[in-house]
Chain A
Amino acid sequence: MELLWEGIRKAFDLLRTLDPEVLGITLFTLKVTLLATLASLVLGLGAGLALALTQFPGRRVVISLVNTGMGLPPVVVGLFVTMFLWRNGPLGGFELLYTPSAIILAQTVIATPIITGISVAALQQLPPDLRLQILSLGATRPQMLWLLVREARLPLLAAVMAGFGGVISEVGASLMVGGNIKGSTRVLTTATVMETGKGNFDVAIALSLILLALTFAVNAVLTHIQQRERPR
């Protein structure tokens, strides 16, 4: 118990003194996870719209695969992305392994199925006649898509939160593809693992609390956007 209080005190010390290393890791974590969430949103919403609004053979199989992908273990993603990015691997020419871009790529792979899966469910929940109604009122196809997305914005923002939650909490993929390099690819989760391994439990607790606070802050902003105008 004493250790926990010590950790909480240390967390406030690190924040109060604006410890440059901790601040750097925190901002870097925020940057990487937000970029990955953004990329996943673009890919996942696109794929979600395509899956929800079109009919093609094997569609159910694809949706099942996406739903399975919502539980994709980060270490599995980490392993495969690492193998692709190895110097002598298929994407080795880009020299991405152990860079921030590698973490963003891996996290995008983790979050895209989450956002796709929830988007499909959100869009399918809309009244089926809505599309026809919108089109019959003379809307163009992009306008129709935009209206559908607007109509489903509550669950879609929940999808963004789930995707963000998936990437900010994962450690396996970031550790494998990023390498936990000081000042370059160290994020809050990998730093916590390392400090725990070193026996610096107070610092580890401090980093965990910062991670929780950061997750809360981002979700608070997203929730605010989500709840801004209550649907009638």
Chain B
Amino acid sequence: MKNRILASLAGAILCLGPAAFAQHSVILATTTSTQDSGLLDVLVPMFQKQTGFQVKTIAVGSGQAIAMGRKGEADVLLVHSPEAEKAFMADGPGLNRRLVMHNDFVVLGPQADPAGLKAAPGAAAAFRKLAAGSFTFVSRADQSGTHAQEKKLWKGAGVDPAGRPWYLETGQGMGQTLNVASEKKAYTLSDRGTFLAMRKNLGLAIVSEGDASLANIYHVIEIDPAKFPKVNAAGGKAFAAFLVSAPAQEVIRTFGKDRFGSPLFFPDAGKKDN
């Protein structure tokens, strides 16, 4: 039975041609925001053309991307969950964590802003207002970078939202969570890029922004081949080097300007990291 499955598989591989040239494929584990905003649709083909590597982009939350890195199931990570990244680096499976770009998180809510967050001084005050008035809040709840940031903001506000009736957990990506928040006329936290890219279909507006605690920082991390011999080290290294190279940084600087009026990301390669 097993042999027959393998035989039919072998047949399938032959039929499908060059799908599995392992040496030339790089597994990039990244966040949904980089895919949903469309940035990777520009950067990945550019990299593939330049180097001949094929990139397999697996768009999951930062938490899952880091988990893939921990098991050596990815070659390079592009993630935005600084605290989880630092823990990951301290544990040893990562190499060469480098700053790539940033944008910021924004607190979104219904156009009418029933909780009056626009008047709140800063993100912590805004989150306290949400909890005090029991306004519906939609959480990613998927261990993504955005979710990690959201938990940090609740902590800063001195509120534990877990289990409250107004706290909805979707467990899904940013795009899907924005749709839910929009339909439920609820508040949510999003990275600015995904929000701008999806704004046309959403009944949501920015109700709090600009606070220093809302910075959203993306790093690239290579996976250490010394820990996981099966990792495509050359491919991961090439992709990381590409992301911080001048041409890629230029794409990041201008990406989305034409469609959304303002860029979605700000390039940061080579800047001091803190």
Contacts and interface: CB of A to CB of B under 8 A. Distances in A.
B56 A196 contact: no
Given A35-B15, A39-B12, A98-B58, A199 B228 contact: no
Interface string A115-157: 0000000000000000000000000000000000000000000
Nearest to A197: B175
Contacts of A196: 175-176, 179
Contacts of B13: 99, 101
A100 B13 CA distance: 8
B72 A96 contact: no
B173 A43 contact: no
Interface stretch (B2-10, B96-104, B133-141): B2-10
B230 interface: yes
B19 A101 contact: yes
B12 A198 contact: no
B16 A181 contact: no
A101 B57 contact: no
Contacts of B72: 87-88
B15 A197 contact: no
Main secondary structure of the interface of B (DSSP, over half): helix
Given A95-B22, A101-B9, A182-B41, A199 B175 contact: yes
Contacts of B27: 98
B56 A108 contact: no
B235 to A, nearest CB: 13
A105 interface: yes
A179 B56 contact: yes
Contact of A182 (B12, B57, B178, B198): B57
Contacts of A43: 1, 4-5, 8
A86 B56 CA distance: 14
Contacts of A86: 71, 73
Interface residues of A, number: 32
B84 to A, nearest CB: 21
Given A87-B72, A88-B72, A199-B201, A101 B12 contact: yes
A180 interface: yes
A100 B20 CA distance: 8
A180 B175 CA distance: 16
A31 B17 CA distance: 12
B9 A197 contact: no
Contacts of A96: 9, 20
B59 interface: yes
B202 interface: yes
Interface string B214-250: 0000000000000010110000000000000000000
A99 B19 contact: yes
A184 B36 contact: no
B73 A101 contact: no
B213 interface: no
A187 to B, nearest CB: 13
Contacts of A220: none
Contacts of A104: 9, 12
B197 interface: yes
A198 B175 contact: yes
B172 interface: yes
A199 B230 contact: no
B202 A35 contact: no
A100 B179 contact: no
A181 B231 CA distance: 19
A197 B170 CA distance: 12
Given A197-B176, A198-B197, A199-B202, A100 B19 contact: yes
Given A99-B20, A104-B9, A182-B57, A197 B179 contact: yes
Given A98-B27, A108-B8, A201-B201, A88 B230 contact: yes
A199 B198 contact: yes
Nearest to B1: A43
Contacts of B58: 98, 179, 181
Given A35-B12, A95-B22, A88 B176 contact: no
10 contacts: A35-B15, A43-B5, A43-B8, A97-B73, A101-B9, A101-B19, A108-B5, A181-B56, A197-B173, A199-B200
For the complex of A and B, 5 pairs with smallest distance between CB atoms: A197-B175, A199-B201, A95-B22, A199-B198, A39-B8
Interface of A: 31, 35, 39, 42-43, 86-88, 92, 94-101, 104-105, 108, 179-182, 184, 194, 196-201
Interface of B: 1, 4-5, 8-9, 12-13, 15-16, 19-20, 22, 27, 32, 35-36, 41, 44, 54, 56-59, 71-73, 172-173, 175-176, 178-179, 197-198, 200-202, 228, 230-231
